[in-house]
Amino acid sequence: MLTDWHYPTYQGLVEQIAAVKEQRKALVGEVGNLPETQQELLRLKRDVEVSNQIYTLLLGKTQELDIVRAGTVGNVRIIDYAEVNTSKPVKPKKALIVVMATMLGGMLGVAIVLVQKAMHKGVEDPSEIEALGIPVYASVPHSEHQDKLAGFNKGRKSKAAKAKSILATDNPADLAVEALRSLRTSLHFAMMEAKNNVIAISGPSPGVGKSFISVNLAVVLAQSGKKVLIVDADMRKGYLQTQFNIEAAEGLSDYLSGRLNLRQVTKATKVEGLSVITRGQIPPNPSELLMHSNFSKFIAELSTAYDLVIIDTPPILAVTDPAIVSAHAGTTLLVTRFGQNHLREIELTRNRFEQNGIDIKGVVFNGVLKKASNAYGYYGYYNYEYKSDA
């Protein structure tokens, strides 16, 4: 018995029916998706309408601005046309620029120096020096009378003017001179165990007043009845001859070089009991002269001939001469200046001496100003001392 599928016609019909069912299924799916497509179409239509409205609005505003701009009348008018004088062209005034630049540069330089000086003040309290382990033997007040003497010397270059520049003889009642009298007393006890009666005086740097201290201390010692000699061992820039109004042609360098003897280089002064040996002719080798055996002989002769010998030496941080001289002296004093020398500078000075086996006996704190609170005691005491007999 044959089944239905054995007939070709029947088989074709079955396949057609299956194809129609697939088409029907596809059409049913497309019909189901129509609502979502319509929603997307509506949203896109709304966006297009809104964009068209915005575009139309902006276009209208642009046209309005164009109309306003076209109808605006400007308020700028040309009063005069620019004219250029080509016969006298404008050029930089070089002379004026140079003068102004020089003035401004100078003022700026001065300002920088003042600021640096204000920021880097030196020692103003002697206790800071004593904290280094060096005793301060005396604090010498700043002398206004000495300033007047120095100004007098600058105004008149005569020898007579220079001879009056010793404060201890010109104004014995000055506070600075009284401080040196106090130093004289301190030295009397400090030198009891010294190897000789020679005092070497130096300073860390130039301008501290070591020559001022040396000369006036020598005068004060001579006024106490001592036989005193002051020696200018600064054979480079010494100027003690101007203090005593004598010639510097014959002095220490001449003795050390063997050209003159001690009597020939020693000069008397107007101060009773005080003699001076100036620097002499400036030699090419001061340090070598001081290291010669003649200097040891020189010190030995002076030590026996005088009660006290004061040797004014150059700044220790500049040259080695002070160390050479101090090696022969029984006492070494260091002069520092109020507000000028820093603790580091003083410490370097002490180290320089110690490296040469020299012990600084004490410090003379020079140029103390009245404004310094630590100086009140000195000024107050000395003023009271002199005014009490009035």
Q: Which DSSP category does 60 fall into?
A: H
Question: According to the model, what pLDDT value does residue 74 have?
Answer: 66
36-44: average pLDDT? 77
Supply the pLDDT for residue 150.
74
- As a whole number of angstroms, the distance between CA 381 and CA 175 comes to 10
Question: Which pLDDT tens digit goes with each residue over 313-323?
Answer: 999 999 999 99
Confidence of residue 175 (pLDDT cuts 50, 70, 90): very high
pLDDT at 268: 92
Q: Give yes or no for residue 165 having a pLDDT over 50.
A: yes
The residues, any chain, with a CB within 8 Å of residue 109's CB and separated by 6 or more, are none
Least confident of 72-76, 221-225, 261-265: 72-76
Tokens of 1: 């018995």
Does 96 or 227 have the greater pLDDT score? 227
How high is the pLDDT of residue 10?
Answer: 77
199 — phi, psi (to 5°)? -115, 120
Give me the long-range contacts of 348-351 (CB less than 8 A, separation at least 24). 348/204, 348/317, 349/203, 349/204, 349/316, 349/317, 350/132, 350/134
The per-residue pLDDT for 353 is 95
Residue 119 has what pLDDT? 65
Number of Cβ within a 10 Å radius of residue 6:
9
Residue 387 confidence class, pLDDT cut points 50, 70, 90: very low
Pair 141, 382: CB distance under 8 Å: yes
Say whether pTM exceeds 0.85: no
Whether residue 158 is predicted with pLDDT greater than 70 in this model: the reply is no
Which sign does the torsion angle of CA 144, 150, 152, 155 carry?
negative
Q: Percent of the chain at pLDDT above 90?
A: 49
Average pLDDT value for residue range 186-206:
92
Torsion angles phi and psi, residue 368, rounded to 5: -70, 130
CA neighbor of 251 nearest in space, from 236, 237, 267: 267
What percent of the chain has pLDDT above 70?
84
Model confidence at 92, in pLDDT bands (50, 70, 90)? confident
pLDDT in tens, 321-348: 999 999 999 999 999 999 899 999 999 9
CA distances from 347 to 25, 128, 356 (A): 111, 11, 15
Percent of residues in the chain assigned helix, strand, coil, to nearest 5: 55, 10, 35
For residue 385, what pLDDT is reported?
Answer: 45
Angle at Cα 15 formed by Cα 11 and Cα 16, nearest 5°?
115
How confident is the prediction for the chain on average, in pLDDT? 84
Q: Which domains does the chain have, with CATH numbers?
A: 124-387 (3.40.50.300)
CB atoms inside a 10 Å sphere around CB 297: 13
Residue 354 clears pLDDT 90, i.e. is over it: yes
pLDDT digits (tens, 9 = 90+) for 276-318: 999 999 899 899 999 999 999 999 999 999 999 999 999 999 9
> Strand runs (DSSP E) across 33-144, as ranges?
136-141
Whole-number pLDDT of residue 33: 65
Torsion of Cα atoms, 334 then 204 then 213 then 234, to 10°: 110
